[in-house]
């Protein structure tokens, strides 16, 4: 999904440009952008908001960028990238694999944006590879959703990769962090085990917040939630920056999770148990 706006450099006088595309029977994408109604003003910019979820979306962005380069000459050009694809593939883990994130970032860089705004990238490698990147961090987004003092007793870090970000959230909320961990088969991606490093004498009858950047199928937090419920935790809420929810939502709530905070980087349903944060 794409949205295009042009505006003055001070973000005033915003114009929304109609955008549409269709796909030919042979598979070719054909995008068009209304460009006649644009600001003729020195020091103006054009902003593309992009939700990329497939290879076709990347091709469509390349074509849209071509339209903008031809019709908005002299404008500052900004990309708002809701989800940085391939961040979970930031290196070749096995022989014969591609450096997928590097390939993706090279494509974004080839479009020569003056600024690329991203949101809680899964890997710091993305921040290093993307030119002119300005990241909105996980902590920035948590602050929008959860004021202090909070109602939580603990923050749960779901795995070793999340520890650094989760510690910042815990410091903001001024509560302790509990670490969890998992083992995963790098060839199949299957989780083979889950452990929560908690003092079970004190964690009962508490309210906890599990924080992670991405929830895909949810297997990691489902296993953690089951363990926490078995140990007597009263309330389990989750904060996910990017809620893919490829296995649906019932599997999460059925595991003992009570409420989910997530951004609108992906489409989420209307549900009283899901609190959406617009970015």
Query: What digits encode the pLDDT tens for the residues 56-84?
Result: 999 999 999 999 999 998 899 999 999 99
Query: In this structure, are residues 208 and 236 in contact, taking their beta carbons and an 8 Å threshold?
Result: yes
Query: In this structure, are residues 167 and 139 in contact, taking their beta carbons and an 8 Å threshold?
Result: no
Query: In this structure, are residues 268 and 278 in contact, taking their beta carbons and an 8 Å threshold?
Result: no
Helix (H, G, I), strand (E, B) or coil at 184: strand
Nearest to 107 by CA among 61, 50, 47, 76: 61
What integer pLDDT is reported at residue 102 of this predicted model? Answer: 96
pLDDT category at 38 given cuts 50, 70, 90 is confident
Strands (E), 221-264: 235-243, 259-263
pLDDT digits (tens, 9 = 90+) for 220-275: 999 999 999 999 999 999 999 999 999 999 999 999 999 999 999 998 888 899 99
Helix (H, G, I), strand (E, B) or coil at 52: coil
Nearest to 133 by CA among 117, 145, 144, 121: 117
pLDDT digits (tens, 9 = 90+) for 118-151: 999 999 999 999 999 999 999 999 999 999 999 9
Report the distance separating Cα 137 and Cα 207, nearest Å: 24
Q: What is the share, in percent, of the chain residues with pLDDT greater than 70?
A: 98
What integer pLDDT is reported at residue 189 of this predicted model? Answer: 67
């Amino acid at each position: 999904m794409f949205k295009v706006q042009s505006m003055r450099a001070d973000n005033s006088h915003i114009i929304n440009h109609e955008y549409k595309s269709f796909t030919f029977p042979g598979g070719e994408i054909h995008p068009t952008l209304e460009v006649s109604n644009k600001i003729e003003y020195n020091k103006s910019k054009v902003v593309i908001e992009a939700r990329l979820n497939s290879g076709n979306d990347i091709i469509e962005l390349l074509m849209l960028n071509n339209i903008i380069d031809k019709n908005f000459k002299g404008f500052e050009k900004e990309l708002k990238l809701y989800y940085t694809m391939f961040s979970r593939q930031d290196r070749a883990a096995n022989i014969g694999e591609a450096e997928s994130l590097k390939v993706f970032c090279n494509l974004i860089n080839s479009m020569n944006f003056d600024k690329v705004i991203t949101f809680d990238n899964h890997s710091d490698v993305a921040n290093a590879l993307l030119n002119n990147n300005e990241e909105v961090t996980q902590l920035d987004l948590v602050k929008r959703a959860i004021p202090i003092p909070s109602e939580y007793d603990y923050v749960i870090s779901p795995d070793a990769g999340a520890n650094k970000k989760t510690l910042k959230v815990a410091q903001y909320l001024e509560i302790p962090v509990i670490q969890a961990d998992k083992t995963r088969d790098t060839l199949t991606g299957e989780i083979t085990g889950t452990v929560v490093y908690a003092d079970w004498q004190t964690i009962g009858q508490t309210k906890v917040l599990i924080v992670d950047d991405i929830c895909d199928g949810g297997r990691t937090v489902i296993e953690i939630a089951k363990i926490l419920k078995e140990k007597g935790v009263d309330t389990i809420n989750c904060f996910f920056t990017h809620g893919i929810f490829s296995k649906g939502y019932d599997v999460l709530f059925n595991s003992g999770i009570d409420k989910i905070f997530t951004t609108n980087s992906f489409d989420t349903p209307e549900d009283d148990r899901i609190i959406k944060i617009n970015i």
